[in-house]
Amino acid sequence: MQYRTLGRTGVQVSSLALGAMNFGRIGRTTQAEATAIVDAALEGGINVIDTADRYSDGESEEMVGKAIAGRRDDIVLATKASMPMGDERNHQGSSRRWLVTELDNSLRRLGVDHVDLYQIHRWDPRTSDEETLSALTDLQRAGKIRYFGSSTFPAHRIVQAQWAAREHHLSRYVTEQPSYSILQRGIETHVLPVTEEYGLGVLVWSPLASGWLSGVVRAGRDITTSRSAFMPERFDTALPANRARLDAVEKLAGVADQAGLTMIQLALGFVTAHPAVTSALIGPRTTDHLHSQLAAADTVLSADVLDAIDAIVAPGTDLAPDEKFDTPPALLDPSLRRR
C-alpha cells in the first residue's frame, strides 16, 4: 500500500480508501460481512474509511461504528452530510441548523466522539458559503470534527468557498471528493487544476465507473452487476453513451491484457497516477471484491499504458456526461436560465 499526505493537513492516508456505501440495505451487506471487509481492509493497509449519513439512511454509519469499535484511533474516519434524510424539508442541506444536528446524529450512529473528516455531500445552492463554513469551523473548534471537505462540488464553487473562508476568517475545506474514472475524466479540465492550486486532498469515488471497469462488463455478455439491477438505464447498451462506454471497455481490456494487468488494476492505477489524486475510494460488497481491488494497491502504470488509455478516452472527456453530479443547476432546470 502507498501512503500520501492528505492535502496540506500532514495526515498520512492510504492510496486506496474503503468506501462504505454498500454497507447495509444498498449493498445487502450484513454486519458480519461489513466487519469482515473492514478487518481485511485494515490488514491490507487501508487506513481511511468513508461513509455518509445518506447511505442506507444511517445504517452504513452504524455498521462502520460497530466494525471499528476498539480501534478507532488507527483509522482516518470520514462521513458526509447535506443529502436529504427523510421528508422533512430542513433535514437536508448545509445550513448551520442542519449540520449541527446531523453531525450529532452521525457521531451517535458511529459510536465516536469525533470524525476526522466531515464532508458536505453536495453543494447546496440555497445556503451561503459563510453560513456553512461558519458552522463547520465552530464544530471543528468544539472538537467534533478535525477537518472538513466538500464532495462533488463544481470547480467554481470550490474556488468561491476558498475565498469565502479567507474573507470571513474561517477554516476552509481541505479536501474534495469528486467522481473520477477512465470513463469519466471531466474533472481533469477544471476541478483537479483547482484542487492542486489550493492544495486540497482529493478522494475520488467510483474509480471503477459503477462496475464498468471491474472486468465483468464485456461485449457479448449479459450485464449482471449489482448496480445494473437498480440502475438499468446506466447499462442499457441501446443508449449511445453506454455503447461508447462498452466500446472503450473493450479497447481498455486489450491494453490491460497486453500489460499483464486486470481491469481493476488498470482502472485504479489510472486514477491514483494523477498527481492531484490522494486516494481512490473502493466500495466492495464482499471480501472477494475487496481482495481483487487490494491487488491494485501497488500498481504503477507505465507511461506507455497511460498514453494508450489517453488514446481511447481523451483527457478531460466524460463518456456519460448526463451522469455528472456537479452540473450547474441552470443546466438542469430551464426556469433558472429564463428571464
Packed helices 303-312 and 240-259: angle between N→C axes, nearest 10 degrees = 160
Cell numbers given for 286: 464482499
- Cα–Cα distance list, 236 to 180, 226, 227, 299 (Å): 21, 14, 12, 31
- Cα–Cα distance list, 219 to 6, 247, 248 (Å): 38, 8, 11
d(CA 192, CA 25): 33
- Residue 116: count of CB within 10 angstroms of its CB: 21
Cell numbers given for 65: 461504528
Nearest to 278 by CA among 142, 112, 135, 149: 149
Which of 55, 147, 173, 180 is catalytic? The answer is: 55
Q: Is 180 a catalytic residue?
A: no
Cell numbers given for 132: 456553512
d(CA 319, CA 337): 25
- Cα–Cα distance list, 242 to 188, 233, 248, 326 (Å): 21, 9, 10, 20
User: From its phi and psi, is residue 299 left (phi > 0), alpha (psi between -120 and 50) or beta?
Assistant: beta
Catalytic residues: 55
